[in-house]
Amino acid sequence: MPERTGGVSPESLQDELFEPVVIDSELVYRGAVWDVRSDRIRYGDGEIVRQYIDHTGAVAIVAVDEDDRVLLIQQYRHPIRRRDWELPAGLLDVEGEEPVVAAQRELAEEADLRAAHWEPLLSAFATPGGSNEIVHFFLATGLSELPDAHAREDEEADIRVEWIPLADAVGAVLDGRMHNALLAIGVLAAERHRARA
């Protein structure tokens, strides 16, 4: 069993930057959205090799209306063979685009909405054991519809959009009825944010 030090105060509890020497980094696969790399690093007294998805990063939007309902979308996700419930979200795939601007773009593209107020909620590494993807979450309020609907194709062509009471979305996550990690992080963070405010 790992030794417990007991020396971390609540104020100092945070991730720690650690950058071992990368001896070699090889592009194994170049994808349309993300790449796969294989790195050989010096770690401890030896070397280890790790493969991981080299990701552009992403944004996720918790859009909450004046009735405390959160906007959820449902679309088909092939790797899990499900139409899962999600937050509007998208890639940081425009060179130099700030995360909040990407979030504004994604809310427009996926839900035909704009928000008057944007507030950062948190940032999270989606799957740090296999990817360097970081997701920036934003709370969007003061919502209004855009005059023109965006054209959608592929899995986005039949997106289902629903407004769900925030408490119901949190309950569905905690009851194990919705499994999308970004959705879980976003609605739990939004509920906590509301309680603290």
One digit per residue, the tens of pLDDT, for the chain of length 197 reads: 666 666 778 888 888 999 999 999 999 999 988 899 999 999 999 999 999 999 999 999 999 999 999 999 999 888 899 999 999 999 999 989 999 999 999 999 999 999 999 999 999 999 999 999 999 999 999 999 998 766 655 556 578 899 999 999 999 999 999 999 999 999 999 999 998 88
Active site residue 155: no
Query: Based on the domain organization, do 34 and 115 belong to the same domain?
Result: no
Query: Based on the domain organization, do 23 and 105 belong to the same domain?
Result: no
Query: Based on the domain organization, do 69 and 137 belong to the same domain?
Result: yes
pLDDT at 5: 65
Q: Give a yes or no: residue 47 inside a domain.
A: yes
pLDDT at 197: 80
Q: Give a yes or no: residue 40 inside a domain.
A: yes
Query: 48, exposed or middle or buried, with CB in 10 Å at 0-12, 13-18, 19+?
Result: exposed
Q: Give a yes or no: residue 2 inside a domain.
A: no
Q: Give a yes or no: residue 8 inside a domain.
A: no
CB 119 within 8 A of CB 138: yes
pLDDT at 156: 60
Q: Which two tokens stand for residue 38?
A: 């294989």
Query: Based on the domain organization, do 153 and 67 belong to the same domain?
Result: yes
Query: Based on the domain organization, do 152 and 165 belong to the same domain?
Result: yes
pLDDT at 155: 55
Query: Based on the domain organization, do 148 and 112 belong to the same domain?
Result: yes
Q: Which two tokens stand for residue 140?
A: 């969007």
Query: Based on the domain organization, do 23 and 96 belong to the same domain?
Result: no
CATH code of the domain in which 71 resides: 3.90.79.10
Distances (CA, A) of 148 to 71, 111, 113, 140, 145: 19, 11, 10, 20, 9
CB 53 within 8 A of CB 133: yes
Q: Which two tokens stand for residue 50?
A: 């790790």
pLDDT at 33: 84
Query: Based on the domain organization, do 31 and 65 belong to the same domain?
Result: no
Q: Which listed residue (98, 155, 156, 162) is catalytic?
A: 156
Nearest 10 degrees: Cα torsion 33, 39, 43, 48: 110
**Domain of 49?**
16-54
Query: 134, exposed or middle or buried, with CB in 10 Å at 0-12, 13-18, 19+?
Result: middle
* C-alpha R_g of the chain: 19
Q: Give a yes or no: residue 83 inside a domain.
A: yes
Query: Based on the domain organization, do 50 and 89 belong to the same domain?
Result: no
Q: Give a yes or no: residue 48 inside a domain.
A: yes
Nearest 10 degrees: Cα torsion 73, 35, 38, 16: -50
Total count of domains within the chain: 2
Which region holds residue 34: left if phi is over 0, alpha if psi is between -120 and 50, else beta?
beta
Q: CB-hemisphere CA count at 13 Å for 174?
A: 9
Query: Based on the domain organization, do 112 and 24 belong to the same domain?
Result: no
Q: Give a yes or no: residue 157 inside a domain.
A: yes
Query: Based on the domain organization, do 32 and 112 belong to the same domain?
Result: no
pLDDT at 42: 95
Q: Give a yes or no: residue 174 inside a domain.
A: yes
pLDDT at 152: 54
